[in-house]
Chains A and B, each alone.
Chain A
């Protein structure tokens, strides 16, 4: 079946540090891939997406590239801010069968000033 695996958290960084949160997936066919973010006290919101191999999704300084050969979709940001502190979820949407989002376990990110 489809599954998503994210790096273990929590992750703690200083402001302006470089961020990478790893995400790998297992899926049949060619899924679309997403990063969702959950700020404290709020629901999840879509951060970025990529729908085919080699696509790069980007938003708010975050980027992720759909790598079919390594089945990965790692999230990166060059210089994090305190306001980026949140829980980040990698997810896939299968293109086969019932279309449902499958989420990874989430990675809690804390940025210290």
Chain B
């Protein structure tokens, strides 16, 4: 039974950086793609980026100047950093397992999500 559990700060001031970590329990870490996705009333579900077990990353072009995803394979954890946060980044953030191919995947397991609010 695969489970994803995330944690990190939930309230940030404008210009601060978001840092979230996701731990993966059960199942194999290799062979899958580890993603961050966010959801807001304004933009709906928005894919942020992915890292595979080799540490290769891809990011949403709209966010790639501000985002970094890293991996600690020894702990089955991966992390998100999003810089220069603004109110437009207020959303529920999820980590998720991608299943598919290097060029595309669907999301078969999700974390419980956490609300991140950016406010002065």
A binds B: no
